[in-house]
Structure 1
Amino acid sequence: MMTQSNEFWNEKMKHLFHLYDIDNDGSITPRDFEILASKLSTLVGQDDIKRREDYANARKTLCQEIMRADANQDGKVTLEEWLDFHQHLAKELQKPDTDPEILEQIAQRINTTFHMLDLNHDGYIAKDEWVKTCQFFGVDKTTAEKSFQQLSKDDKLEEDKAKHLFFEYLKSNDPNHISNCCLCFL
């Protein structure tokens, strides 16, 4: 029987899956990351060539990390593969002696996510960057602002704190954990 905390964790991982399934075809593929990178580059403007290149590189990195969940190597990640992969990952992250290779993979995913949210590359996620990105993913402005206030007492979220919260989001099954305010950007 599934506990309430496990049900919560499954629901948040399903939500995360659907954020990455940009074309809503029921699986995550490299094409989803191409669409995502193209759309995200509009947040900073199409005329910013350097930023478009950054998003293209981030897309490749994030795609490689996410596609690790493709257990049968058919070029797409199904919801079942996604949940199995992240359940194994969460269990591994809860161990005191987590495999260093897994920690490196997660660090790369988290670094990429942070840099995609830090729209002006100043080493912080400012409130306006957070809200703008949340709205891009369909979160209303009020909810985005509220979540940012819970995560940061200032007008910016420091890189170390953001990365720690993203890490905790992946492993925590506590419905009251502050990392749930991250709104599934991983």
Structure 2
Amino acid sequence: MATASSEFWNEKMTRLFHLYDVDKDGSITPVDFEILADKLSVIVGQGDSSKRENYASARKLLCEEIMRADANNDGKVTREEWLDFHRRLATELRNPGSHPELLEQLTRRINTTFSMLDLNRDGNIARDEWVKMCTFFGVDKNEADKSFTSIADGDKLQESKAKTLFYDYIKTDDPNHVSNCCLCFL
């Protein structure tokens, strides 16, 4: 990666880190996932017991997958651990083969993320689902709608396309790549 591109990639991975560091203590811990889950409960329909159970399982799996970046096993992921882990993921995505277990882990994380975004469980991310999640993470509603238009086919983002965008987000250091609109979902 070139220096300018590396700076962009580091910046976007750092922004992603800060989205998960909900309590803003400088590290990601399971507590951050509990806080995030409480805030997200309004969006995902926590009044429905089936949705609540599915979401709780997905949230637990997502927490486990992200906590794999905890290199020293102290129960928290620092920014440096986060960047190192995602650097290895990006390298594996660009040149598969040296760490296939990383791709398996990322695939579980992406599958879980998709299931959490597909609020109505129809196998697609609808425009309203995308906009709800984007605005939850602080993206302007009009920008969220505009980004959805750039990546979706009509009012639906198909599962395969969404997952490809998620993979691309991790590996690309191109500031103009369309996957950069996926910031808040990984």
TM-score tier (shorter): over 0.9
Q: Which runs of 4+ in 1 moved over 3 A?
A: none
TM-superposition CA deviations, 1:54-80 (whole Å, max 9, x none): 121111111111111111111000111
CA distance in 1, matches of 2:45, 2:4: 43
RMSD: 1.5
Alignment of 1:42-53 (within 5 A): 42-53=42-53
| C-alpha contact (below 8 Å) 2:28/2:77 kept by paired residues | yes
1:76 alignment partner in structure 2:
76
- One-letter amino acid matched to 2:16: L
Number of equivalenced pairs: 186
Give the TM-score normalised by structure 2.
0.95
- One-letter amino acid matched to 1:142: N
Identity of aligned residues (%): 69
1:110 alignment partner in structure 2:
110
Structure 2 unmatched ranges of 5 or more: none
2:23 alignment partner in structure 1:
23
| C-alpha contact (below 8 Å) 1:69/1:81 kept by paired residues | yes
CA distance in 2, matches of 1:60, 1:41: 14
SS of equivalent residue, structure 2 residue 75:
coil
2:184 alignment partner in structure 1:
184
Moved more, 30-39 or 155-164: 30-39
CA distance in 1, matches of 2:124, 2:31: 29
1:5 is the counterpart of 2:10 = no
1:134 alignment partner in structure 2:
134
CA drift at 1:149? 0.8
- One-letter amino acid matched to 1:154: G
CA distance in 2, matches of 1:183, 1:67: 18
Give the TM-score normalised by structure 1.
0.95
CA distance in 2, matches of 1:14, 1:61: 22
SS of equivalent residue, structure 1 residue 147:
helix
